[in-house]
């Protein structure tokens, strides 16, 4: 992975109760934390409602499969869907199709109203989950660059005579 993630959004367990994790889930998250460059003891802090910073700086979270040692990785892009307009919306739809067909990820809207990349399949290998988070961060940066590019810079200038 590019750099170790930074834990963010730590929430007191008394405020937001989490379902009891199985020993297989705890072991899975500990191994995943190690692959992400974190201490194994930080593994349990990777599940919602907590976020952590991925290798490219995007906010990430992992949804833990109930009763199973598997996760659905997600990366949040710092772009509100409501901010997009005009050519950006058309580009969003094109990028959404490409992300789904090329990577098997869904580009949608998070509960927070931000664009979000979500894996479409549960991942049951800690190494594969870490790799998926790395991929989501790289693809997320490419998606942001595509959506925020200024078409006027790329347009050819009219020749003045």
Sequence spans of domains, the chain: 18-148
Largest CA distance in the chain: 75
pLDDT at residue 1 in the model:
43
pLDDT at residue 14 in the model:
37
pTM tops 0.85: no
Mean pLDDT of 93-121: 94
18-148 to CATH, choices 3.30.1460.10, 3.40.50.300, 3.90.79.10, 3.40.50.10440: 3.30.1460.10
Mean pLDDT of 132-154: 86
pLDDT at residue 158 in the model:
52
Q: Is residue 96 very low, low, confident or very high in pLDDT (cuts 50, 70, 90)?
A: very high
pLDDT of 112 > 60? The answer is yes
| C-alpha to C-alpha distance for 96 and 64, rounded to whole angstroms | 24
- Distance of alpha carbon 16 from the chain centroid: 22
10 Å Cβ neighbour count for 81? 15
pLDDT of 155 > 70? The answer is no
pLDDT of 67 > 70? The answer is yes
Q: Is residue 80 very low, low, confident or very high in pLDDT (cuts 50, 70, 90)?
A: very high
pLDDT of 154 > 60? The answer is no
Is 1:37 a contact under the CB 8 Å cutoff? yes
pLDDT of 17 > 80? The answer is no
Is 67:22 a contact under the CB 8 Å cutoff? yes
């Amino acid at each position: 992975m590019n750099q170790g993630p930074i834990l963010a959004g730590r929430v007191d367990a008394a405020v937001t109760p989490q379902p009891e994790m199985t020993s297989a889930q705890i072991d899975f998250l500990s191994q995943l934390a190690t692959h992400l460059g974190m201490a194994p003891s930080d593994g349990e802090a990777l599940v919602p409602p907590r976020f952590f910073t991925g290798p490219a700086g995007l906010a990430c979270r992992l949804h833990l499969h109930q009763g199973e040692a598997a996760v659905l990785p997600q990366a949040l892009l710092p772009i509100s869907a409501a901010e997009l307009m005009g050519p950006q919306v058309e580009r969003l739809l094109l990028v959404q199709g490409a992300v789904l067909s090329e990577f098997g990820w869904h580009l949608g809207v998070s509960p927070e109203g931000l664009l979000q990349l979500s894996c479409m399949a549960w991942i049951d290998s800690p190494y594969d989950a870490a790799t998926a988070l790395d991929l989501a961060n790289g693809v997320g940066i490419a998606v942001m660059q595509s959506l925020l590019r200024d078409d006027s810079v790329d347009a050819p200038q009219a020749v003045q005579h």
